[in-house]
Structure 1
Amino acid sequence: MQRGKPLPQKEVAQRMEVSERWYRNLESNAGAPLTPEALIRLSTALALGPDERLALYRHVHANTKLGEPEPDGPEEARSALTHLLATHERYPAYIVDHAWNMLDCTDPMADWFPWVREPEANLLRWALTAPEAREQLTDWPRHAALYLAQLRFALVSSRDNRQLGALLDEVLADPECRRLWDEETKVVAYRQGHRFRLRLPHVSAREITVTSQVLLPAHRQELRYVLLLPESDPAPLPNRGERDPAQCRS
């Protein structure tokens, strides 16, 4: 969340209109009260963007649960999203959990990306480490930087999560991912409304431009429903034979 050089404690305290001692206690976890108002002041003092503010809030309140009653359980939330998938069978759409494990998807998603049928398929692992991802995701370095920024947000939001930690270790074993990780400290919450291009020669004779729409269950925000909306129908391949619909079920 830095903006170039780290800000001196005195300057941040002045921007927040608090004592330097209070801010020093905050940085050292010495019990300085971080109220909602103080969070707003801190976010403003550090010139945080929307995603960074959300990451800070999630980090501070990582163990805080909302007061509203929860639904019956995660299976009910996932079942509702699976039902939603059935209404979007025309488009690539999928459900992932907090660590980008592929839980469910539509047939077009499996048609575009056959790897989703594999056991323990993981979106982030594929996008950052699979050689085919670097061919299929146009301008891969930009995609990789965004996925790493999302992973950074997830790690801030879910402290001490072993699955995310293991995923980070696996991703950073790749030299290019390590370089991108070290170059930026950006955080991104979700890729809502992200417009990007795909090279899928097994699907279309030309590049496909899509926009991602991300839905979160109100009480189960560890689940994500993502719909890829093409700007136009993919150009059909010549003499492409009919195939049985692919199934993607965990």
Structure 2
Amino acid sequence: MQTTTRPVGSLLRQWRERRRLSQLDLAISAEISARHLSFIETGRSNPSRDMVLRLGEHLEVPLRERNQLLLAAGYAPAYRESGLDDPDLTVAREAVRRVLTGHEPYPAVVVDRYWNLVDGNESVAVLTEGVAPSLLRAPANVLRIALHPDGMAPRIRNLGEWRADLLGRLRRQVEVTADPALAELLAELRDYPGGEQEPAPGGIFVPLRLEHRGAELSFFSTIATFGAPVEITLAELAIESFYPADPETGEHLRRLR
């Protein structure tokens, strides 16, 4: 848990401005007076615990950062963070494993907030074949694996498009979370070679076009998260599942299976 010495009012104002909301907009949404909100932001009024949680919810502040708001206001954190091996997360862990296994023979990965690989099914080997072992050692970061010159990048036929999509997703995550570690990761990835390329007009998604043993595979992906989580670990997990974007890719994966 990161702590901060900044006043809670200053932090709330920063989140409001990041969300591009006026004081009146937020006050109406949170059903409080604009005057009260102004007093909170300037430090003239100390918000209650419930008020901090209410404003954090209406500002869509991530759970990790809501705890920081509470600490800044002098209250104990409201949301706990457990290891994925915690007994209380057994049901969630088993559900994730069922999703991964059931997705075979297509690749699927589970990542945390920082895009570190938490779990994956056996078919992920199709994606990581030829990747430098140093990139696969824990904590393996899937964005580094994808875009590093020693990772998947040399095998990605449409690297510019795929790179632009991944960096765009990370940029939006930085905007939502204001997390400096994610901002550092974005700066690192931008320094990798490959450039960014706008997708060709007329498509319906940006595919991952990947060379594998002499064949060109084409994938699209979906991302799943837990609904209504109140625990930080679950809130920050995402399952990305890759599907064949053409019949040839599906047949190639089934033969490998």
TM bucket normalised to smaller: 0.5 to 0.7
Determine whether 1:112 maps to 2:127. Answer: yes
Determine the structure 1 residue equivalent to 2:79. Answer: 65
Partners of 1:223 and 1:203 in 2: how far apart?
31
Structure 2: which amino acid aligns with 1:141?
A
State yes or no: 1:78 paired with 2:84.
Answer: no
**Match of residue 87, structure 1, among 102, 110, 129:** 102
Q: 1:138 aligns with which of 138, 150, 161?
A: 161
8 Å CA contact 1:137–1:197 kept in 2: the answer is: no
* 1:122 and 2:141 aligned: yes
In 1, distance between residues paired with 2:25 and 2:94?
Answer: 50
Distance 1:201 1:65, change over 3 A: same
Q: Distance in 2 between matches of 1:195 and 1:113?
A: 22
Report the residue type matching 2:224 in the other structure: V
Aligned counterparts of 1:233 and 1:223: Cα–Cα separation in 2: 30
SS in 1 for 2:210: coil
Shift of residue 74, structure 1, vs aligned partner: 4.4
Aligned equivalents of 1:59, 1:105: Cα separation in 2: 28
Q: Within 2, Cα distance between the matches of 1:116 and 1:73?
A: 35
- CA shift, 1:199, in A, is 1.9
Is 2:118 the counterpart of 1:100? no
1:165-205 per-residue CA deviation (whole Å, 9 max, x = no partner) reads 4453243245569xxxxxxxxxxxxxxxx943112022674
- Higher relative contact order at CA 8 Å, sep ≥6: structure 1 or structure 2? 1
Whether the 8 Å CA contact 1:94–1:106 is kept in 2: the answer is yes
Question: TM-score w.r.t. structure 1 length?
Answer: 0.56
Q: Secondary structure at the match of 1:196?
A: coil
Structure 2 counterpart SS, 1:199: strand
Question: Which string of whole-angstrom CA distances, capped at 9 and with x for unpartnered residues, describes residues 213-235 of structure 1?
Answer: 41438565133332222233344
Mean CA deviation greater in 141-150 or 18-27: 18-27
**Paired letter, 1:54:** E
Give the whole-Å Cα distance in 2 for the aligned partners of 1:141 and 1:15.
34
SS in 2 for 1:171: helix
Residue 148 of structure 1 is matched in structure 2 by 171
Partners of 1:17 and 1:223 in 2: CA distance: 31
RMSD: 4.7
Alpha-carbon distance in 2 for matches of 1:233, 1:88 = 16
Aligned residue-pair number = 203
Q: Report what 1:22 is aligned to.
A: 36
The equivalent position to 1:202 in structure 2, one of 212, 216, 220, is: 212
Code of the aligned partner of 1:84: V
> Is the 2:108–2:239 Cα contact (8 Å) retained in structure 1?
yes
- Aligned letter for 1:81? V
Matched residues in 2 for 1:6 and 1:14: separation? 14
Normalization by structure 2: what TM-score? Answer: 0.55
- For 1:86 and 1:237, the matched residues in 2 are separated by 18
Partner of 1:185: none
In structure 1, the partner of 2:226 is: 216
Q: Identity, % of aligned pairs?
A: 21
Deviates most, 22-31 or 11-20: 11-20
The 2-side partners of 1:81 and 1:14 are apart by: 39
- Superposition deviation, residue 83 in structure 1: 4.1
Match of 2:242 among 216, 220, 228: 228
Query: Structure 1 counterpart of 2:127, which letter?
Result: W
* Long gaps (5+) in structure 2: 1-14, 69-76, 81-85, 193-203
